[in-house]
Structure 1
């Protein structure tokens, strides 16, 4: 299993645009410089009135399918 850490700073309105279908994915750059395309819906549990902000860790299996996403700060 591989794990990647990254920062996210998406405003509430920008997230709603993503989640409502304007864009179904979020592209992030990991701390190691790797670009990941993640489904916007996976960030829904972390949405607050200020948006989605913080440091995250995503774990993927051997087939590069998301196993878990954690907010680490």
Structure 2
């Protein structure tokens, strides 16, 4: 996940944007921080998905094929 300082800065820029507006440099910084945040979020979410196994009432593995394939590709890397 993103460092606390960066999350704090995202919040500061968001608040400033709503209150008084941002300079061009601040807008670029905000966009860069948002992209970094989303990249970290997506990685964490993907990592979490790879820990999931779906099982029906009878104990049969019914994990979607796409997820199984993604897990296999990840384990090979």
Smaller-chain TM-score bracket? under 0.3
Higher helix share: 2
Higher strand share: 1
- TM-score computed with the length of structure 1 as normaliser: 0.24
Name the larger-Rg structure: 2
